[in-house]
Structure 1
Amino acid sequence: MTLTISITPEIELIDVPRQIRVSGARPGSEVTIVARSSGPGGSVWQAEATFAADADGTVDPGRDAPVRGDYAGVSAMGLIWSQHEAEPATRAKGGAASVEDVVTEITVRAGGEEARAGMTQILAAKGVTRREILEDGVSGVLYMPATDGPHPGVVILNGSGGGMNEPRAALYASRGYAALALGYFRAPGLSDWINDVPLEYFRDAFAWFRRSVVLKDDFVAITGQSRGGELVLLIAATYPEAVSAVMAYVPASCVHSAQSAGDPARGRLAATWTLDGRPLPHLWDGNRTGTYAPYDNGPEPKRHEYALLTAMADQAAVERARIPVEKITAPVLLINGTDDGWWPTDYHCDIIVERMRGAGRHVERLRFEDAGHSILFPYVPTTVITAAHPVSGIVSTSGGTPAANARANAESWAGVLDFLNRVQKKDA
């Protein structure tokens, strides 16, 4: 028999799993599969795994665990999420370049033979449109579906890296949502720092969205990650009438200071958000127990969580800075891992759930054991656990393991789409 490899489907959206199937190997022989993918900015990512062919001479990673390689256990997409960077980027990773198709070449070797096949992961489906927005004080990028509207809307907020989360917006548009990737710092026309961001900016951005796009049933969800997760809860509590649903990834239950995204001249304990021209109280304001020593002087890789746990010990400071989530009238979905290296998200989500349910509000939660702070969308490499912060440059760990983070990526995205579908039907 001739060694062959097939990939189904070959070209599809990035959130669709693929079946990789090798046939024609000698039964019981070792079969090595190498996946080599394009990445942001022209980087190259690669993973390798070796399998034992079955009695029919076939290998299927969705059925078979590798005998050795870059991941363990059965995982249909293990050759993607276990990839490491093999070649660095040659151009900037941000902006529109980040929604480029991911092209993967898969090579299989067995018994002196070699076969190749390819697959393409798409973030922006054919016909999805992209429009840069810098008007009426709003800075963002609008992605619209290829299908006729009206469509439900979703506003996507980045975390403490700033900028605009175009990949998620493109994927939402590919799934039928009018998607606004909204910047609030490190974006055109805005500050380079997270300091003193007025909540009124988001109120005005929602109003712009509704004026500029015909939205199905006036539905506008909001989603954010990390500082964006804190922010979406804060926005929904401050302007409940503007928000139809909330998806908060690795959020916080209280307001935090500027931390690693603030102006260095003002320090990491400066204010982040303002309302009516006044800074909102944050966790470190008058905090009696908080210290950054466990982070600054702690072991490598550094965990920012250690400093925040000391601050959370001051219950009075926590209460002063607490986001009043009981004021949120929209359904809320929380997504978190149990090994978050950036802040104690599991604890924060416990607080949010308790407060919202105590007030009779709709809150759901997706909790992933051993996952960390970086929960994204499915079928991307999850091996970068320790990295430099994009603003401060400080190296720390986001926590989790590649396998747990990969599971969280896949299951959370499916959960978000299901949540959005359910809450829209409920409102219909």
Structure 2
Amino acid sequence: MNSNSKEGVILSVDPLSCLHDEPVHIKVSGLKPNQDVTLRTSMKDVRNVQFVSYAHYRANGNGEVDVNEMKSLGGQYKGLFPMGLFGSLVPAPNEYKYTRFFKKDVENPNIVTVGVYDGHVSIEALCVSEEMKPLSSVIHERHYMGPGVQRIPVRYGKVRGSLFLPPGDGPFPGIVDMFGTAGGLLEYRSAQFASRGFASLALAFFNYDDLPKGLEEFDIAYFEEAVEYLLKHEKVLHSGVGCIGISKGADLAASMATFIPSVVACVAINGYFAPVEKGIRVKDKFYPAFPQKYDHMRMTDDGIFMPLTCRPELRAVERLMFPLEKCNAAFLFIVGADDRDVASESHAQLAYQYFSSQDYKNDYHVESYPGAGHLIEPPYSPHCYASFQHSAMGPICWGGTAKYHTECQVDAWEKVQRFFWHHLVEKSKGDDDSQLYNIPVKSHL
């Protein structure tokens, strides 16, 4: 578990290679009793941007540091945060501060360098000084695709994306997976779904291949075609599919659950339940867009645009909401209570109230996470407080704090898997007990 050490210091990361949604155990031994040390992680994204995190620890009387049991005394975070060296990764001091970590090459793992250094040192010293050598270092791999997972590029009619299939013959529960106004094709969540037993279609809807370069009016027919593709696949269960979306993808997921009968389970993360930015056409009816998110904002002292979101009134939202009561799907609303981009908690509660007032027959549930921001992703994705957004032409605040946001991502990821497994697998077998959510057993690589 140790790749490079001196002076008898041993740094271990267990396991050395694992799936990206799995935690690791970091320990250091061979130190002097009560020795001050700095732990540092570093990895690069698809654009070669370096992300780093560091934390200060003090060895115990045996000359050991165990991040699972000991509190950080300073650095990127303080206190007990076992996966803090991953959840709090931020752009290095020489990089643009407001950069979001992006992974597009999901067939190759993230390579993380973990090092331990003598003394409590700054991140600037760790990143700049050539004389700063680690007492011990380890190379750790974090995989998005488990063994045997397949990635299949999709060009089906107008549909563009990538299908990820688990190993084996299936059939597997199918999911349509969408992100927000970043555009393009983001595959890392679908790759991780497939590593956990789901057939997941990472669906692009603009700024990819021959799709429109910018956000334009949507047509539900495009998403119907994507569902058709999944249901026709021999390795996908034909009893119904799920959909998941974050931000703009959340309102697209809600529209799919409303207007496509074969969508039976919907996860909406920090979004609206009416069209936002651009409207959507459903046959001969057009649903206009909710008012622009970025019409009103202020700039903080450190140059971040802070959207001025407020709690929407139910009556105003109802006029623009999809007719959710007519749909055939179960809903799980994932909410970051510190979302600074969208009043997502208010919108989710309004949707919940709306379902309740309609005596909605299917499951609907809100999971709200204090301290979590807008960009809720699978576990141990680096927390991004703010990043450059083209629609605002500047850095937008997403909110959240690294520790609570990371804990949210771990809990939400498990709940999302259980939700889909129940509604796409167990209920298709006639099991209606919502407490019997079972998901494939996790295993290290």
Which of 55, 78, 87 is 1:81 aligned to? 87
- Note closer, same or farther for the CA distance 1:293–1:17 as it changes in structure 2 (3 Å cut): closer
CA–CA separation in structure 2 for the residues paired with 1:49 and 1:118: 18
CA–CA separation in structure 2 for the residues paired with 1:63 and 1:105: 22
| Alignment gaps of 5+ in structure 2 | 1-6, 120-132, 430-445
- Note closer, same or farther for the CA distance 1:400–1:163 as it changes in structure 2 (3 Å cut): same
CA–CA separation in structure 2 for the residues paired with 1:393 and 1:272: 22
Residue 68, structure 1, aligned to residue 74, structure 2: yes
Corresponding residue for 1:153? 174
Residue 14, structure 1, aligned to residue 52, structure 2: no
CA–CA separation in structure 2 for the residues paired with 1:208 and 1:243: 13
Which of 226, 244, 249 is 2:264 aligned to? 244
Corresponding residue for 1:105? 113
> 5 Å matches for 1:379-418?
379-382=380-383, 384-391=384-391, 393-418=393-418
Confirm or deny: 8 A CA contact 1:11 1:121 kept in the other structure: yes
Q: Output the aligned Cα RMSD.
A: 2.6
Residue 366, structure 1, aligned to residue 367, structure 2: yes
SS at match of 1:47: strand
CA–CA separation in structure 2 for the residues paired with 1:128 and 1:117: 27
SS at match of 1:97: coil
Aligned length: 402
What are the superposed Cα offsets for residues 196-232 of structure 1, whole Å, 9 maximum, x if unpaired?
A: 1101111121112212343135341110100111111
- Note closer, same or farther for the CA distance 1:110–1:70 as it changes in structure 2 (3 Å cut): same
- Note closer, same or farther for the CA distance 1:18–1:277 as it changes in structure 2 (3 Å cut): same
CA–CA separation in structure 1 for the residues paired with 2:372 and 2:389: 19
- Note closer, same or farther for the CA distance 1:121–1:356 as it changes in structure 2 (3 Å cut): same
CA–CA separation in structure 2 for the residues paired with 1:36 and 1:356: 45
Residue 53, structure 1, aligned to residue 59, structure 2: yes
Judge which range, 368-377 or 112-121, deviates more.
112-121
Confirm or deny: 8 A CA contact 1:248 1:335 kept in the other structure: yes
Corresponding residue for 1:339? 338
| Structure 2 letter corresponding to 1:295 | M
**CA drift at 1:29:** 1.6
CA–CA separation in structure 2 for the residues paired with 1:22 and 1:41: 32
Confirm or deny: 8 A CA contact 1:154 1:220 kept in the other structure: yes
> 5 Å matches for 1:245-394?
245-256=265-276, 258=277, 271-284=278-291, 294-295=296-297, 301-304=304-307, 306=308, 308-309=309-310, 312-313=312-313, 316-357=315-356, 358-382=359-383, 384-391=384-391, 393-394=393-394
- Note closer, same or farther for the CA distance 1:34–1:180 as it changes in structure 2 (3 Å cut): same
Confirm or deny: 8 A CA contact 1:253 1:351 kept in the other structure: no
Corresponding residue for 2:162? 141
SS at match of 1:244: strand
Percent identity over paired residues: 24
**CA drift at 1:72:** 1.4
- Note closer, same or farther for the CA distance 1:234–1:69 as it changes in structure 2 (3 Å cut): same
Corresponding residue for 1:264? none
**CA drift at 1:390:** 4.1
| Alignment gaps of 5+ in structure 1 | 259-270, 285-289
Confirm or deny: 8 A CA contact 1:50 1:68 kept in the other structure: yes
CA–CA separation in structure 2 for the residues paired with 1:132 and 1:110: 47
Higher helix share: 1
Residue 2, structure 1, aligned to residue 8, structure 2: yes
Task: Output the TM-score relative to the length of structure 2.
Answer: 0.83
| Structure 1 letter corresponding to 2:399 | G
CA–CA separation in structure 1 for the residues paired with 2:151 and 2:372: 32
Corresponding residue for 1:261? none
What are the superposed Cα offsets for residues 44-97 of structure 1, whole Å, 9 maximum, x if unpaired?
A: 2111111111222211111111111111121111111112212659xxx87842
- Note closer, same or farther for the CA distance 1:5–1:150 as it changes in structure 2 (3 Å cut): same
Confirm or deny: 8 A CA contact 1:147 1:176 kept in the other structure: no
CA–CA separation in structure 1 for the residues paired with 2:15 and 2:33: 26
Judge which range, 31-40 or 59-68, deviates more.
31-40
Task: Output the TM-score relative to the length of structure 1.
Answer: 0.87
